Chains A and B, each alone.
Chain A
Amino acid sequence: MTSMPTNVTGRRALLSQLWDENPIFRQVLGICSALAVTNLLLNTALMCAGLVWATTLSAVTVSLVRDYIPARVRMMVQVLLIAVYVIMVDIAMRAYFPDIHRVIGPYVGLIITNCIVMGRLEAFSSRNRPWPAFCDALGAGLGYSILLLAIALVRETMGFGTVLGVPLPMREAWWQPWTILVMPPGAFFVLAIAVWIARGRALAREARRAAKGGAR
């Protein structure tokens, strides 16, 4: 289990989660939802919002009570916390925004069991103060969102020929539906390419830094 120093500043935590320790292509977390939700840009945006909400709130809460949670039941408590925050929103949506709920409803489970949320709680929030924990969680959520929105853009345009539900201009003339991209196996390939590009750039950056001899 990774153990981070307990004096990491908020800014550093946020920035590292955004790219260097990006949850998707570095830590390999949050993949299930990345596959399921990225066939439509709108759903992806809502999912990312839901994830940022769940991660930040539970990170702050766990960090606040980290000294009081008994080690033996920490996972139960953490998972309960995450579930409560997400289900709260789910219930509110179901009552007051049924149209959005119809879109995001199937994904509620994917937010609660998203490895990113639990992963950051275990690795960071349970050992750090609330403000760094919040920044770390926000960074993880944003890092996740950036990559997912990029993937969704590709999948929706090539699979459905629309962006946010709006058809591309003059698509009858030049666009052919590439349905496999809309189905989950297609998600694997687009995600693999995204990971390839992102990781390639991150590794190149690290190599440049190491060559300069600077500390990270």
Chain B
Amino acid sequence: MIAQAATPHGMTAGYLMLVLLSAAFTDNILLTRFLGMCSFLAVSRQIKAAAGLGLAVLFVTTVTAGINAALYHYALVPLNQAYGVPLGLQFIVFIVVIAGFVQLLEMVIERLSLGLYYALGIFLPLITVNCAILGASLFLVNLGFGVVDGTLFGFGAGLGWMLAIIAMAGIRQKLAGAKIPAGLEGPGLALVITGIMALAFLGFSGMIQLGR
């Protein structure tokens, strides 16, 4: 049972559904592509903090995916065709856009919820280099998405990341009372749990194939 969709495609509801499902589940950016691990492992002890970070990542991924898709299609590609500006610039452009946006987000969070601000600690500026967010922007270019499906893809990727971190926080909160060897406590256990989740997601391999 493999669903395939090649782009460009009519923006049918079915196609958009496939994009969303593949980004959020079968090609989950955390459990299938293993991006965005650092903050995932460190901030997933409590559901509240995890949900806060998850929402922040979801927000940043969606908006920057949209901005980057637009920049790619309406600025980088025409510049490349007209003046030979190398497309390799997309890396720098994307990451600077993300960095600028995260800076904005940091200011907003600091103003709105000081508790969340301190709970996130260093992992708030680290959203900037969250490989998942940059990965989402780069993948949507590789898969040939436009602005609409690209933004949806970004939303799906962020959603998948958020669901994974909340699931992880739920599991870790349940395990908080268990007897665990001192060395394994914390990141060690989180890695084992993630490994098991990743094995489960291996089953989704290649279920939905997008792109050429």
Contacts and interface: CB of A to CB of B under 8 A. Distances in A.
User: When A and B assemble into the complex, do they touch directly, with CB atoms less than 8 Å apart?
Assistant: yes
A199 B38 contact: no
A78 B103 CA distance: 12
Interface string A84-116: 100100010000000000000000011011110
Given A185-B202, A203-B183, A75 B95 contact: no
A10 interface: no
A143 B181 CA distance: 23
A32 B99 contact: no
Nearest to B126: A115
B115 interface: no
Q: Is the interface of B mostly helix, strand, loop or mixed?
A: helix
Interface of A: 1-2, 25, 28-32, 35-36, 72-76, 78-80, 83-84, 87, 91, 109-110, 112-115, 117-119, 122-123, 183-189, 191-193, 195-201, 203
Contacts of B199: 185
Q: Is the interface of A mostly helix, strand, loop or mixed?
A: helix
A100 B190 CA distance: 34
Contacts, number: 144
A203 B191 contact: no
Interface stretch (B29-37, B68-76, B143-151, B156-164): B29-37
Interface residues of B, number: 46
B124 to A, nearest CB: 8
B78 interface: no
A76 B191 CA distance: 30
22 contacts: A1-B121, A1-B122, A31-B38, A32-B35, A79-B129, A80-B95, A83-B92, A113-B134, A115-B38, A115-B126, A115-B129, A118-B125, A122-B126, A123-B122, A185-B195, A192-B192, A195-B187, A196-B181, A199-B183, A199-B185, A200-B183, A203-B183
Contacts of A198: 183
B42 interface: yes
Given A75-B99, A79-B95, A188 B195 contact: yes
A20 B25 CA distance: 37
Contact of A32 (B37, B92, B183): B37
A105 to B, nearest CB: 12
Contacts of B8: none
B194 interface: yes
